[in-house]
Amino acid sequence: IDNILTLKLKSQTETALMNLELGISDHRALFINLTENLNLNKKNGEQKSKRRLFSNKNIANFVNIVEEINWDVSDRNDCVTNNSNFFGCFLNAFEEAFPLKFYTKKNSLKNKTWITKGIKVSSIKKRELSRMVKHSSDESFINYVK
């Protein structure tokens, strides 16, 4: 596989898999449209979402699954059938290695009422200065930020 493209949209409700001709290779690109479904439960301030975990363990599992697939999916002369067979195998491997899981995250802003506007502004400024220090060679500026 030469090209795999991904797109994550909050407005989409289903994962989509497409085969695109990009004109940059002698192979077509596999395009996977990933979704992010977020529901805010107003009653208890929890945010619920369905996500896939792309951890190193899951990626290694995906590679193992793909390596074990019998890629003789092109046993017919019909191009459409061969494409469907290939994408079916690939999508099954993807779904098995990266299953959709439900996650719940409490709204942390409600629990942190002690954080004042001044603290938030100071935190933003401190983060900005820390980023600037990483790229600065001016010793006096680095000491000032410390």
Q: Which amino acid is present at 99?
A: P
**32, 91 Cβ separation under 8 angstroms:** no
Place of tokens 């900005």: 128
pLDDT single digits (tens) 53-71: 899 999 999 999 999 988 7
How are strands ordered across the β-sheet holding 16-20?
4-9, 29-35, 16-20
Does residue 140 have a pLDDT over 80? Answer: yes
pTM listed for this prediction: 0.44
Alpha helices by DSSP H, listed for 30-105, are 56-68, 79-97
DSSP-assigned beta bridge partners for residue 41 = 46
What pLDDT is attached to residue 110? 59
pLDDT single digits (tens) 78-105: 787 888 888 888 899 999 999 988 877 7
